Amino acid sequence: MKRLSRWPALALAGSMLVVLATLAVVAPDFASTPDLSARYLTPLESPPFGRDERGIPLLDYAAQGAAIVLLPALAAGLLTATAATLAGLVRCAGLDGVDSALQVGGELLGSLPRLVVILVVALLLPPGWRNLLPIALAWAVLAAPGAMDEAAATAARLGGARFVEALRAHGFSALRIQLYHVIWLNLRPVLVRQAAEVAMQVVFLEIALSYLAVSRNEPSFTHADSTYSWATLLYLGYTAALGQPLWHALFVGLLLVAVVAVFARSTRAAARAR
Amino acid sequence: MTWWIRPLVRLLAAVALPLAVPALVTAALWVLPGDPAEIICPPGICTGKEVLSARWGLDRGPTGFYSTWMAHALQGDFGNSWRVAQGMDVSELVAESLPATAQVVGIALIPLVLGMVGAVLGLVPRRADPFWQFIGLMPSVILALAGAAFIQIQYGALSFDGFPGFLRLLFAALVLGLSDGALADAIVGTRGTFDEEYKQRYAQISILRGESMLGNALPNVLPALIGQLRARVVHVVSGTVVVEVVLGVPGLGELLWAGTLLQDFAVVLAAAWAYALLSGALLLVQALAEIAVAVWVRSAPAVEVA
């Protein structure tokens, strides 16, 4: 696959984020009232995305879905990147005891099947706390060991504590070494890639969890009953495969998934090492 | 680092994992606001809170609950389901659902292992990597949806038994083997590990000696490959939850999902513990394999310096 060059990739990632953020900002608190006279309208008949079997615009679902996932996904990405930064800095600081403790903890945490833990978290959450954020943060914690391992390995390849010592000998301050030389110049590709991947995984996790709930006509763990996830679009798309004239819903659902995937991949390309 | 430290950590983790999962759940029950008995047995969903508290030691605090639950679990007693299959023994539900999950995971591992072997032997061309990576971008839920729709259209309402039922199982395995980058990571990750090792001086000198690079590099790369394989198995096992539900495979994942959705605590804790046992077993296998490789490498005859 031809690699995207850095600036176009950054522009692409930014555009995708703007699309998602715009959808999240315009999301209505409640979906439009059903209008049975507008059932199954296609995107050409009811722009931009058409309507479902109750005449509700698919734009409502797309926007509400974006509002559900945007902040939790970004928060999860940030948490993973923070944990990875910590592991990289610990390796550079030569704190062997802390480093070993992090590795043992990571080994334990990384051995757990993530979705199983997520379901246990979802079960234990009190009804008032049921939204995507705690689930996304739990996912980020479970994804952190992999990110920390990679960041620590990158720091070790630099030379670990000897790299920092060498830079100090050149007269750089400790803060500059950690923030600029270690994090910005060397750990950045790992941190950004891991954060983008975790953010994407959180979006897909939300879709999966909501889809499973929607398909069984049960309330979702990830959002209030009054809002709709992108999983609803995919579920409508599934009914299209079974004969309902809702192929446009499947198209919109897949388009939104593609937007998230392109965001993650282009972010990764924009941050890759020189 | 001394060679035995990593296997030792894994052995300890393998033992700790089945103990840690119920401990974490217990801790969460007591840390979260509200009465733990009401979290386990929400009013309006289940009745008999007092009986339940006495049965599981909830009235004796977190240590009482943990020790009671572990003591029962070690005897295979997880209590009765109160919503998924009312009154039925949870251990029976778990035992009934395990074969389907084992089949799904077993079949899903076939493309992954073949991909790893193909990458090592050069049978999978590098130029095909973008194709695998593109397929890997698909979330499992979407691929599973496509499979479920196909089977539903082909076989209708009777698609859960016989050949269509087996087809569902096969699709579930295929989805787990392909989606979320599983196959792409298996191919690219394995090849990358060997590429790095082939850069080593000893590997290049092996060509001058008329030996194969693969034969020389394999013992050194094996622990990393075993680790990668374990991570992939855990990934596949984790994915069964979504894929089994979407495709209607009656496995452990579907049982766990049903338990979570219906707030059947007994089912969820038992299924989660089964997954923890499986993860612990995988860690144990990895540790033993690492020890075997280390012993094999160290038992090679020493070459005298000329």
Query: Is the pLDDT at B237 greater than 80, yes or no?
Result: yes
| Rounded Cα–Cα distance for residues B110 and B103 (Å) | 11
Please report, as a single letter, which amino acid is at residue A214.
Answer: V
Best A104, A124, A236 member to test B by mutation, with max B CBs in 10 Å, is A124
How close is the nearest chain A Cα to the Cα of B296, in Å?
25
Instruction: In whole angstroms, give the CA distance from residue A256 to residue A264.
Output: 13
Residues A146-162, mean pLDDT to the nearest whole number: 87
- pLDDT at A1 exceeding the cut of 60: no
pLDDT above 70: percentage of residues in chain B: 97
Of A104, A108, A123, the CB nearest to B20: A108
Q: What is the three-class DSSP state of B47? A: coil
Reported ipTM: the value is 0.82
* CB pairs A-B closer than 8 Å: 117
Structural domains in chain B, CATH included, are 5-296 (1.10.3720.10)
Per DSSP, what are the bridge partners of residue B58? Answer: none
Say what the pLDDT of residue A273 is.
64
pLDDT exceeds cutoff 80 at A190: yes
What pLDDT, on the 0 to 100 scale, is given for residue A19?
A: 95
Q: What is the mean pLDDT of residues A38-51?
A: 92
Least confident of B130-134, B157-161, B235-239, B244-248: B157-161
Domain boundaries, chain A: 6-270
Burial class for B304, CB neighbours closer than 10 Å (0-12, 13-18, 19+): exposed
Range with the largest mean pLDDT of A126-130, B89-93, B258-262: B89-93
Residue of B nearest to A105 (CA): B13
Q: What integer is the mean pLDDT of A197-216?
A: 91
Which residue do the tokens 């540790």 mark?
B287
The least confident of A160-174, A253-267, B45-59, B228-242 is B45-59
Fold classified for A6-270: MetI-like fold (1.10.3720)
Rg (CA), chain B: 24
Average confidence score pLDDT of chain A: 89
Tell me the two tokens of residue A249.
Answer: 């819903």
CB contact under 8 A, B153 and A204: no
Tokens 């083997």 locate to: B177
Predicted confidence band of residue B306 (pLDDT cuts 50, 70, 90):
low
- Reported as a single tens digit per residue, the pLDDT across B56-74 is 888 888 999 999 999 999 9
* pLDDT tens profile A174-189: 889 988 988 988 899 9
Q: How far apart are CA A11 and CA A196, in angstroms?
A: 15
Residues facing B80 on adjacent strands? B89
With pLDDT > 90 as the criterion, what percentage of chain B qualifies?
39
Tell me if A114 sits within 8 A of A139, measured CB to CB: yes
A100-104, A127-131, A134-138: least confidently modelled range: A127-131
Q: Which pLDDT does position B250 carry in this prediction?
A: 92
Which of A114, A212, A254 is closest, CB to CB, to B245? A212
Contact residues for B237 (Cβ-Cβ < 8 A; gap 6+): A113, B101, B105, B275, B278, B279
pLDDT attached to residue B304: 67
Q: Would the pLDDT of B196 be above 50?
A: yes
**Residue whose pair of structure tokens reads 């891991």 in the numeric block:** A194
Write the Ramachandran bin of A43: left for phi over 0, alpha for psi from -120 to 50, otherwise beta. alpha
B38-52, B70-84, B158-172, range with the lowest pLDDT: B38-52
**Model pTM score:** 0.86
pLDDT at A130 (0 to 100): 78
Q: Which residues of A touch B265 (CB under 8 A)?
A: 123
Q: For residue A154, is pLDDT > 80?
A: yes
Neighbour count for residue B43 (Cβ, 10 Å): 10
**pLDDT value of residue A241:** 80
**Residue B156 or residue A145, greater confidence:** A145
Average pLDDT in chain B: 88
Chain B residue numbers touching A241 (CB-CB < 8 A): 149-150, 152-153
* Residues ≥6 apart with Cβ < 8 Å to B295: none
Nearest-by-Cβ selection for B260 from A113, A122, A231: A122
Q: Find the angle CA(A258)-CA(A262)-CA(A264) to the nearest 5 degrees.
A: 120
Q: What are phi and psi of A111, to 5 degrees?
A: -85, -10
